[in-house]
Amino acid sequence: MTLRQPIVLVILAALSVSSIFLGLLMGSVKVAYSDLISAFLNGEQSFESYILVKVRFPRVLGAFFGGAALAMSGLLLQTFFRNPLAGPFVLGITSSAEFGVALYLLAGIPLGNYGTVSSAFLGSLIAIILILNLASKVRSPVILLIAGLMLGYVFSALERILITYAESIQVHQFVMWTFGSFSGITLSEIPIIISLLIPPMLISTFFLVKPLNALLLGEEYAKSLGVNIRQVRIFLILLACFLASIVTSFAGIVAFVGLAVPHLTRLLLKTSDHRTLLPGTILMGSFVTVLCDTFARTVFVPTELPISVVTSLIGAPVVLFLLLKRRRLG
């Protein structure tokens, strides 16, 4: 590890923490730094305090932890498949979550007060079970990747059938969910999100560095280092799918974070060593997602852009740049 990499990690940590304050202070309602102190330290009750504590705080924290989880999920899948274009969408997780929500919103399946969150998670759980079952039987990552993509197409087709026969109001509600937003996250849901996302990310950071670095050089090399390929394959897929499914359940579809952020982190750190790449990706994912969410709700006030619009505007050029660079090098 060079001296440059710890410095970059410290800068990323500072930026990610600063993005929380930026997200709290910026919005359609002007809030001063003194209001922030009054709301969280002094417990002052005012309109600004309500906006900060009840509205912006859960939204910013949701984007912070959600972005970190999506970015890590993308990094795990890119390393496992050794494919720079791999992301949470490639295994059908996004499409299956969409299908679950389509069943709830378009077909009217009753799921209680947390219907959207429950239906998205149950939908993604179907894909996770199918992919894990396939991963235990198929040795080739390429076949697994293709199977995940085909699974996504099947769920998308079923979703289109539901849209065809649904009412226009229901379709509008469903389409708005697919755009993605952290605005629906409440203060009571933040402990749930943190308890579900933090342990898997800590496990990845502390226990998966060696097998991930070994996989970069191929499965045969990893085996020579004592890595149990079958167990690592199943664990990596389960972990990546779980992280992506939790975020999708609470926030809808957040595009390109899982795909683009790992590449941005590699470019910044100039390394593929997961000792620095894993924490760097987590910090970059948090920073980028909070920044995109803040931009989405402030740039065209009072109109709010879907976060996937903003993340796509950033992510698509990054991926295009990488493809062109790869072509020139090739």
Taking only the tens place, the pLDDT of each residue in 230-286 is 888 888 888 888 898 889 888 888 988 988 899 889 888 988 889 999 999 999 999
Alpha-carbon span 196 to 256, nearest angstrom? 22
DSSP-derived secondary structure letter, 89 = G
Over range 37-41, report the average pLDDT: 79
Alpha-carbon span 217 to 186, nearest angstrom? 43
Q: What is the pLDDT of residues 219-239, one digit of tens each?
A: 788 888 888 888 888 888 888
pLDDT reported for residue 1:
61
Amino acid type, 56: R
CB 290 within 8 A of CB 16: yes
| pLDDT confidence band for 326 (50 / 70 / 90) | low
Torsional class of 270: left (φ above 0), alpha (ψ -120 to 50), beta (otherwise) = left
Q: How far is CA 132 from CA 105, 139, 199, 237, in A?
A: 27, 12, 20, 7
Alpha-carbon span 237 to 239, nearest angstrom? 5
CB 271 within 8 A of CB 82: no
Q: Does residue 330 have a pLDDT over 50?
A: no
pLDDT reported for residue 65:
96
pLDDT reported for residue 87:
77
Tell me the H-state helices in the chain: 4-25, 33-40, 47-50, 57-81, 93-105, 115-135, 141-164, 168-179, 190-207, 209-215, 219-224, 229-251, 257-269, 274-298, 307-329
Tell me the H-state helices in 136-251: 141-164, 168-179, 190-207, 209-215, 219-224, 229-251
The answer to whether the pTM exceeds 0.85 is: yes
| pLDDT confidence band for 323 (50 / 70 / 90) | low
Over range 139-156, report the average pLDDT: 85
Share of the chain above pLDDT 90, in %: 27
Q: What is the pLDDT of residues 160-186, one digit of tens each?
A: 999 998 888 888 888 888 888 898 899
Residues ≥6 apart with Cβ < 8 Å to 199: none
Q: Give me the residue label for tokens 């090399």.
A: 221
pLDDT reported for residue 208:
86
Q: Which residue range(s) make up the domain with 235?
A: 4-329
Alpha-carbon span 76 to 274, nearest angstrom? 10
Q: Does residue 158 have a pLDDT over 80?
A: yes
Whichever domain contains 149, its CATH number is: 1.10.3470.10
CB 95 within 8 A of CB 151: yes
Q: Which two tokens stand for residue 190?
A: 């933040």
Helix (H, G, I), strand (E, B) or coil at 299: coil
> Apex CA 276: angle with CA 16 and CA 219, to 5°?
130
Task: Give me the number of domains the chain comprises.
Answer: 1
Share of the chain above pLDDT 70, in %: 95
Alpha-carbon span 151 to 148, nearest angstrom? 5
